[in-house]
Structures are given as C-alpha cells and as structure tokens.
Amino acid sequence: MRSPLALSVLLATTANAALVEVWWNITYARANPDGLFERRVIGVNGTWPPPPIEAKKNDTLKVHAINGLDVPTGLHHHGMFFRNTSYYDGAVGVTQCGIPPGDTFTYDIPITEQHGTYWVHGHATGQYVDGLRAPFLIHNTPEVHKYDDEYTVILGDWYHDEHAPLLDFFMSTANPGGPEPVPKSSLIYFSHNGTYIPGFNADASIKFEPGKTYRLRIINTSALAMFYFWIEGHEMQLIEADGTDLQPQVANMLAITVAQRYSVLVKARETTDYNWAIHADMDQEMFDVVPEELILNQTATIVYSDSAQLNTPSLVDAYEMSIDDTKMVPVDAVSVGDPYKSTELGVFFDTFDNGVNRAAFNNVTWNLPVVPTIFSQLSMGADAENSVIYGPSAEVIDFNKTFEFTVINWDAGKHPFHIHGHKFAIVHKSWNVASDDPELNPPRPTGIIANPLWRDTVQIPPDGGAVSMRIITDNPGTWLFHCHIEWHLQAGLAFLFLEAPTLSQQLVKPPTFMYDQCRKLGIPTTGNAAGHNSTTDFSGLNVGPYPQKLGWTPKGIGALFACVFSAVCGGLTIVWYALVGPKA
C-alpha cells in the first residue's frame, strides 16, 4: 500500500506528464548541407534534416511514421529499452518486417525510466546513411546538473552518392580488400529547444552570454567516421554518456565514435571580445584512404558578439580521449555481480569463399532471416529456448540473470558496438589481450563491481583490443547486438540475444497491424529463421558465405589433375612427333 507522500508524488508526476505525438511522413527530399553537391536524401515531410524529437521523462511519446518512400522502412529510437515491447525497437528484419510503402506504423516510446541524449534513425538497408536521422532528447525533471541553457550538437559524415550503389560496390568481388566507402565531407550543426539553428559547418553557430553555463549534447550520427571534439578557449566538464548521468570530470577533448552521445557543461567567458571555434575533426584512421579533397577538420562558432572577430583557431599536438569510459563515474551507482554465463565474440574481417570481403563474429557472418527473429521467438513454443532455431548467430539467455559477453577485436580497425534494449556495464577493457603489460591488458576485476559505467555503445580498440560487458537480463525480447559502422552491419557484423523466450511469449504481444504489414510484404511470421516449424529444417535460409579453406579442396585437386594430365598428354605427343614423325 502506498504512503500518502508516495501517492502525492505519483499524482504530481502523472499530472505533469504530457502526451507528445509526432507525425513523420518519411519522404525523399533534396539537400546540399556541405555546400558541395545537391543530392536526393531521405527526410521527413519533404524536408531535411528530420526534425528533432524532445520530450520529458514520464511523458507518453507516440511517433506516427508514414512511409512515403517506395521501399520498406522503419525507425529505431537508439538507446531506448522498450521493456516488454521489443516489437517497437525498429530493427527491420529482426523486430519488425518493415513499414510497407504507403502504410503507417505508430511507435509507442516508453520514457518512464530513461532520460538523457539519444537519437532516432532508420534501421532498414542503411537508410540513415541517406539522411534518416535526428536527435531525440528526454529531459529529466529536474536535471541532475544545473545549467542555464542547452544546445544539441549534431555530428555526422556525409556522402554524395546514395547508400545503395555504395553498398553494392562495397559488397562485391571488385572490392576484395573491403575498404569502406569514404565520406565526401562531414557535418556539424545545432538544434535548440527542438528546432534546428540554420547553417552547417563554418556557417553554423551558437550564442553564449557571459557568465552563463551551457549544456552541449553531442551526438555522432555517422555511418563510419569517429570525431574528435573540443572547444577553443573553454573548459568542458563531461556529465553524461549515452543517457547515464556522470560525476563531472574535466575533458580537454572527446573522442566520439559512431552512435555515441556525450553531454558537457561549458562555462561562458566573462568578456565578449572574441568569438570562439568549436572543432569536430574526423579520425582519419577510420579511412583506408584519405582523398586529397576531403576536409577532415570542421569548425563551427560560439558567438558572443556579432561584431567580434573569431579568435584564431589553434592546432593541437595530438588527438586524444581525455577520459576513457572505464574512468567515467556515474552519479547513481548501479553495481553488477558475477555473470551466470559468459560468451566470447571474436571480430574478424576477410575475403570469404565467394570472393567478397565480409565481417564475422567467430568466423560466422550474419544474414537477415526469412522470418524476423521476434516472430520466431514468439511462435516456436518450447523450441524457442533452443538457440539453433534463430540461425547461426544467436544465443538464448535466461531471465533476470547477469550475463557477460566479451568482444575481442582481431581487426586492424576500431569498432563501435551497440546493443538494443539495454545498457551494458563496462567491466573490463584491454588494449591488447596478448600483452603482459598491465597498462595495456589490466587484470580483470572479480566479485561485485560497485559503480561501473552503463552505456549502450562502446568502441573496441583494434589489433587484439577487447571489452567485457555485462547486462541484467530483465527485458524479455529479441535484441540485436552489432557494429554501428553501417557498412559493417551490412557486411554481417551482428549477433542476436534472445532474452527469456518462453516468458517473452507471455509478455511480448505485437499489435495486429504488424502482422498485416508483414503479409503485405510477403514475409512469414511463424517458424524458425527459415520459416519452418522445426529445429532441423533450415532450407531456404540465407547462410554463408564462409571463410576460405586453406589447402587442397576436391575441386582444386580435380583441376590440378586435369592440368597435369593435359600436360603429360601434350608432352607425350611432342615426343611421339619427334621420334616417329608424320608418315609421308
């Protein structure tokens, strides 16, 4: 029974909550944000960029997505838990079939237990690369940290060609080494109180007043590029990572990988003599080749006075991440204990047996199933507890346990990994798992970890770097874990966690219209990953390609025998001709 005080707090919270409804008609548009090339993009209501979404904690948020495109689409509200409603997660092919052209899908976004900086983006065939992406903010009331005003800083890479032809070349035998498409430019722009401030890059600015404190919410919406972010003449205090409030720490520079979000507090200067540069520099190590015409370093401006000059931007000696995420300290301590089981996922890239460079966990590359995974989980009865039915890149995990997974990055590049439906606790990071140097490969902690950082996207260091993450499996459903470099997701760097399948069948109830949309698209909604009510029949499932087999295969042996046989026959023919010769 609630106490009178608890009841009054509940009533006050309910009274302050609002219904926030957003209508997004997802359409094609024209845009030229970098000033270099106008192209077709995916926007909302005929314009680009799609509008920011803002709400307050405990509001009821409904996003009505109308598909005005000629292909299926879907929206992923990145970082949201969707407790018992994983069908609203928006990962097309995993938690929904996709919104057919002309249809509407209403996403109910539960925001009772989360606040902070998020973003919304397309999660179907790389559509966010073509522009379907926007900030999504949930304001806490009151906020943990005090400030006078806030701005959202949107970073992103930008391509002049559409995603589809770029992907076709990237995933082809003409690109066996697998270098990713390099963007033509990068973008920095701002929003304020739910509205974009006009201008991109050098034409973008925000206004500061002397003595005030500002919160900057920074979102990296890229397909590939990581950014180094810093501000001339101002100190940044880091206060948020991926929706987790942090104890303030001074950060001279931030490294923000794809899909990560940070908030910083910035105290304005006391004078208005100069305006100051905001830097967002792409990390060139993310690119196999840096074209001569690519501008890696973008600057926007903090404006104190329209009549003031820009203080001359300075150079930095080296790029850095001032605070590693293992050193970030959440305001609210949430401990995590030992796991009931652990899984290791090794990251590999190679040219597979079809001649195409693919990505893989443990040498298994991921493909979309015939039946979206959520429907296999909900339709297979007791067999849903068998991870085999979901295809080769899946694991079933028990309810209400602590589960650990470690990603070891054997690739030469950095990789940002994101989990749907959860935040994970970062419990250990290694920069080289084979090293005896404790600075590079620290000892693993044991027992209860009192106050780890909880976030939803983490960058794994290259060349044997590793991160161990733990989640509390309290959210029954179907959850995708993947590299958030969009090209790598398309190349197969993904894995599925099926959380409490039998319990999911009781709690997770997709609305009827989802099944109707699947029928429109001709996508089955029952059976295993291949659409069969079986734990052994996977006919029709797209699997492979596979790593190349070194050594002699039967086909190779046959080809060698044919070549040797032909050579011997040719040699014997020459000898015969020399000894006998043609008869006169």
Per residue in 341-364, pLDDT tens? 999 999 999 999 999 999 999 999
Q: Are 222 and 287 in contact (CB under 8 A)?
A: no
Res. 575: pLDDT tops 80: no
CB burial of residue 385 (10 Å; 0-12, 13-18, 19+): middle
pTM of the predicted structure, to 2 decimals:
0.92
The phi and psi torsions of 15 (rounded to 5 degrees) equal: -65, -35
Q: Which two tokens mark 583? A: 């008869």
Give kind and range of the element (H or E) at residue 521. Answer: helix 512-521
Q: Is 43 helix (H, G, I), strand (E, B) or coil?
A: strand
Contacts of 280 (CB under 8 A, 6+ apart): 153, 155, 186, 188, 227, 228, 229, 297, 298, 299, 300
CB 114 within 8 A of CB 57: yes
- The confidence score (pLDDT) of residue 367 equals 98
Would you state the structure tokens that stand for residue 42, as one six-digit string?
């995916």
Residue 443 tokens read as 């000892």
> Dihedral of CA 363/126/119/61: which sign?
negative
CB 419 within 8 A of CB 397: no
Give the mean pLDDT of 175-185: 96
What phi and psi, each to the nearest 5 degrees, are found at residue 567? -65, -40
**Alpha carbon distance 492, 480 (integer Å):** 12
Contacts of residue 275, Cβ cutoff 8 Å, sequence gap at least 6: 205, 301, 302, 303, 304, 305, 308, 309, 310, 311
Is residue 338's pLDDT more than 60? Answer: yes
Q: Which residue has the tokens 């069969």?
A: 532
pLDDT of residue 561: 66
- Phi and psi angles of residue 501, each rounded to the nearest 5 degrees, phi first: -55, -45
**Tokens at 276, concatenated:** 């100051």
Q: Once rounded to an integer, what is the mean pLDDT over residues 14-20?
A: 75
Q: What is the pLDDT of residues 140-166, one digit of tens each?
A: 999 999 999 999 999 999 999 999 999
> N- to C-terminal Cα distance for the chain?
117
Strands (E), 79-132: 104-110, 116-122
Would the pLDDT of 562 be above 80? no
H or E element at residue 168? helix 163-170
How far is CA 401 from each of CA 275, 332, 474, 482, 504, rounded to the nearest angstrom?
Answer: 52, 21, 7, 22, 15
Tokens of 289: 């080749």
Q: Residues 373, 478: contact at Cβ < 8 Å?
A: yes
pLDDT value at residue 385: 98
At 559, is the secondary structure helix, strand, or coil? Answer: helix
pLDDT at 558 over 80: no
Fill in the DSSP letter of residue 455. Answer: E
- Single-letter residue type at 221: T
- Which helix or strand (DSSP H or E) is residue 358 part of? strand 357-361
Query: 128 near 122, Cβ under 8 Å?
Result: yes
Residue 273 pLDDT > 70:
yes
CB neighbour list of residue 213: distance below 8 Å, 6 or more residues apart? 146, 147, 148, 265, 266, 267, 268
Whole-number mean pLDDT of the chain?
94
Please tell me the predicted confidence (pLDDT) of residue 322: 85
